[in-house]
């Protein structure tokens, strides 16, 4: 598709792999991960207050002089947030409810006003695209379409398409759609019955591992959830999540000494590890697997957002030319 190709300009000498890697970095570096909640804003302010020796601005008391002129290793941020490493409230948020969320569902059907609003959001999004798309389906999935909903749940609104019908280069199409959905999700702050709406593009030819999928378009269940008892291995969830947090902290410390390419490569490897961890858990023990719940702890503790922030910062520093 010409429009997709036209969005990317690369030097001919670069291999496709390097071109694609650079496009991914450029797209993700443009992602804004604003501190939306009051808690996030407090964490950011606390880090600034505690980090007077390695930030450009330094401390407020100018008479005391600049503490350092060279690079100083930045302290990790997680210990400012949590008594241990992992947010215990996030860790304990996986209880199974007796019913679906009553603000969203009634008699196993989505409440009409919620359905109509979600359809309008999806259709308004599609209308704004620079080309015509007719989705195969528009679905609601995730914990809000299941019995494990909690205050951390999002309205996961999926636009289901066959990526191969848009362009032969499906990887390029997937990256393009990720960029579109990220920009939309960062620009909008729509709450549906108190839950934030997030849009995702889903390739219809790839399996979607979820035990609850509702077709907003057809007003019926694609996969109807069943209440199940689950044994949650909290100790191993915490251990696995802490390992990832340690790696994020290590990458943050690397930023004082390492070159931008090395940092970006380390972040890419860790992001791949996290994705594969979750995928293996879902394909194995399912949604209550240690791996999937560790991923959710990291997301609910805002550690995944911190990793994306580090990637954007590393990219900015790599591309900056000093006077």
Per-residue pLDDT tens over the stretch 149-194? 888 888 999 999 998 888 888 888 888 898 889 889 888 999 999 9
Instruction: Give the strands of the sheet with 191-192, arranged side by side.
Output: 191-192, 195-203, 155-161, 137-141, 213-215, 220-223
| 118 and 182 fall within a common domain | yes
Domain edge (last residue) among 203, 223, 243: 223
Q: Do 262 and 299 fall within a single domain?
A: yes
Q: Tell me, rounded to whole angstroms, the distance of Cα 139 from its chain centroid.
A: 19
* pLDDT bracket for residue 27 (50, 70, 90): low
Looking from the CA of 73 toward its CB, the CA atoms found within 13 Å total: 9
* pLDDT for res 29: 54
- Taking the C-alpha atoms of residue 198 and residue 98, their distance in angstroms, rounded to an integer, is 25
Structural domain span for residue 261: 230-323
Rg (CA), the chain: 21
User: Closest Cα partner for 269 from 296, 292, 252, 248?
Assistant: 248
**Tell me, what's the pLDDT at 77?**
40
Among residues 206, 223, 240, the one where a domain terminates is 223
217 and 266 both lie in a single domain? no
DSSP of 14-31, one letter per residue? S-HHHHHHHHHHHHHHH-
Which residues lie closer than 8 Å to 138 by C-beta, 6 or more apart?
118, 119, 122, 157, 158, 159, 160, 215, 216, 217
Residue 144, domain CATH: 3.30.460
- Is the domain of 192 the same as that of 154? yes
Pinpoint the alpha helices (H) of the chain: 2-6, 16-30, 38-50, 78-81, 88-91, 112-127, 170-187, 234-254, 260-283, 290-300, 303-319
Q: Do residue 206 and residue 238 come from a single domain?
A: no
On whether both 170 and 234 belong to a single domain, the answer is no
Please check the confidence at residue 30 and state whether its pLDDT lies above 90: no
**Residue 82 included in any domain:** no
Residue 309 lies in a domain: yes
On whether both 145 and 236 belong to a single domain, the answer is: no
User: Do 191 and 291 share a domain, yes or no?
Assistant: no
> Would 207 be classed as within a structural domain?
yes
Kindly state whether residue 152 falls inside one of the protein's structural domains: yes
In the chain, the number of structural domains is 2
Q: At what angle do helices 303-319 and 290-300 cross, to 10 degrees?
A: 70
Structural domain includes residue 10: no
Given a contact cutoff of 8 angstroms between Cβ atoms, the answer to whether 140 and 155 are in contact is yes
Mean per-residue pLDDT for 60-86?
Answer: 40
Report the residue count for the chain: 323
135 within some domain: yes
Residue 182 in domain: yes
Distance CA 26, CA 179 (A): 10
Whole-model pTM? 0.60
121 and 201 share one domain: yes
Boundary-marking domain end, from 223, 257, 280: 223
Give tens-digit pLDDT for 187-228.
Answer: 899 999 999 999 999 999 888 878 899 999 999 999 999 987
Do 159 and 132 belong together in one domain? Answer: yes
- Percent above pLDDT 90 for the chain: 39
- Residue 63 maps to a domain: no
Label the pairing between strands 213-215 and 195-203: unpaired
**Residue showing tokens 């591992």:** 209
pLDDT at 21: 57
Answer yes or no: do 185 and 162 share one domain: yes
Residues 295 and 219 in one domain: no
* Those residues with Cβ within 8 angstroms of residue 199's Cβ, 6 or more apart along the chain or in another chain: 121, 122, 125, 157, 158, 159, 181, 184, 185
Closest by CA to 191, choosing from 142, 139, 118, is 118
């Amino acid at each position: 598709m010409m429009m997709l190709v036209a969005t990317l300009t690369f030097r001919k000498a670069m291999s496709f792999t390097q071109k694609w890697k650079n496009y991914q970095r450029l797209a993700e570096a443009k992602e804004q991960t604003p501190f939306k909640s009051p808690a996030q804003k407090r964490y950011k302010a606390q880090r600034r207050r505690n980090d007077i020796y390695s930030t450009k601005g330094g401390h407020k008391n100018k008479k005391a002089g600049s503490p350092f002129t060279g690079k100083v290793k930045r302290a990790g941020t997680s210990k400012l947030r949590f008594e241990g490493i992992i947010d215990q409230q996030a860790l304990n948020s996986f209880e199974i409810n007796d019913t679906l969320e009553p603000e969203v569902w009634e008699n196993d059907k989505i409440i009409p006003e919620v359905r109509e609003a979600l359809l309008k959001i999806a259709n308004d999004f599609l209308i704004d695209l620079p080309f015509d798309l007719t989705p195969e389906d528009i679905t609601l999935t995730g914990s809000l379409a299941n019995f494990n909903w909690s205050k951390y749940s999002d309205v996961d609104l999926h636009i289901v398409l066959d990526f191969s019908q848009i362009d032969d280069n499906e990887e390029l199409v997937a990256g393009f759609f990720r960029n579109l959905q990220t920009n939309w999700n960062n620009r909008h702050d729509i709450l549906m019955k108190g839950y934030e709406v997030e849009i995702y593009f889903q390739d219809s030819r790839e399996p979607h591992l979820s035990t609850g999928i509702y077709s907003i378009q057809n007003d019926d269940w694609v996969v109807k959830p069943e209440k199940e008892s689950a044994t949650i291995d909290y100790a191993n969830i915490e251990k696995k999540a802490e390992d990832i947090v340690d790696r994020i902290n290590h990458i943050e410390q690397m930023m004082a000494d390492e070159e931008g390419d090395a940092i970006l490569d380390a972040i890419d490897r860790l992001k791949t590890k996290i994705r594969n961890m979750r995928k293996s858990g879902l394909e194995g023990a399912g949604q209550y697997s240690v791996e999937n719940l560790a991923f959710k702890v990291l997301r609910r503790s805002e550690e995944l957002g911190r990793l994306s922030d580090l990637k954007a910062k590393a990219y900015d520093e790599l591309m900056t030319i000093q006077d």
